[in-house]
Every structure is written in structure tokens, then in C-alpha cells.
Amino acid sequence: MDWGGDVTIQADEMFESVVYNLVQNAIIHSDSERPEVEVSIDRRNDTVLVTVADDGPGISDRRKGEVFGRGKKGLESPGTGMGLYLVRTLVEGYGGDVWVEDKEAAGSVFIVRLPVDGATVTSRSAKRVD
């Protein structure tokens, strides 16, 4: 996928697992026949925001704080409950944080905030439809 610019963050090769797990989670938990997932990267002052937005059923306010817990998964989830736990663990190890919000129309938006720490960032957005 051509992002059309250079994006450098202060992280290691495991950051790929962060994005992979967020995208995979969005696809697996979609109630759509053709899930739509949008990944965006943006710089805000001294931070980089990586957002993964989906058009799925969303996450209740009660569950938003729980989804990053070790072994936490929904009753109907085919996963192990380790993906979002790994995301949180890695992001916090990079000095950042991660949370989930409601998407305006429908779905969820997972937001990863990382410190710039000398990074060169260009705003980019990519859309993937499976």
C-alpha cells in the first residue's frame, strides 16, 4: 500500500503487531458482509496519532475500559483475548497510550498516541475494504 509519504515513529518492529491486531480485531468483530476499516496517521504537536476506525457494531461504554485487559474478550469472540492486551502493552512500552471511542456514524475508533521524540511525520490516511 502506498502511503504517499514518510512516517517515522519511535518504536521497534513490533509496532506492526499493534496495527495488525487493531485491524484484525475490527474485521473479526464486524457485523458487515464487507467490513470497512480506515487507518489514519496524523501528527498533533509532539505526538503521533494512529487511528483505526471501523464500521462494526461498536463497543459499549461499559466494555471500553475492559477490552485491553489480559484475556478479555466478548462472549461471541473467536479470539484469545490477547490481541488488544498486546496492543496496550506494546504502546505503553513505547511511552504512548491507546483507547477506544465511538465512531460518529457507527463503529469504533481505536486511537494510539505516541510521542514524536524527533520523529518525522506526514499526515496520511488509507482505506481498506475487505
**CB-CB neighbours of 52 under 10 Å:** 24
| Amino acid symbol at 80 | T
Compute the distance between CA of residue 45 and CA of residue 127 in angstroms, rounded to an integer: 24
Predicted TM-score of the model (pTM) = 0.77
pLDDT of residue 129: 43
Residue-wise pLDDT for 22-36, tens only, equals 999 899 888 888 999
**CB-CB neighbours of 112 under 10 Å:** 26
- Mean pLDDT score of the chain, rounded to an integer? 78
In order of their start, the domains of the chain are 15-129 (3.30.565.10)
Compute the distance between CA of residue 54 and CA of residue 12 in angstroms, rounded to an integer: 25
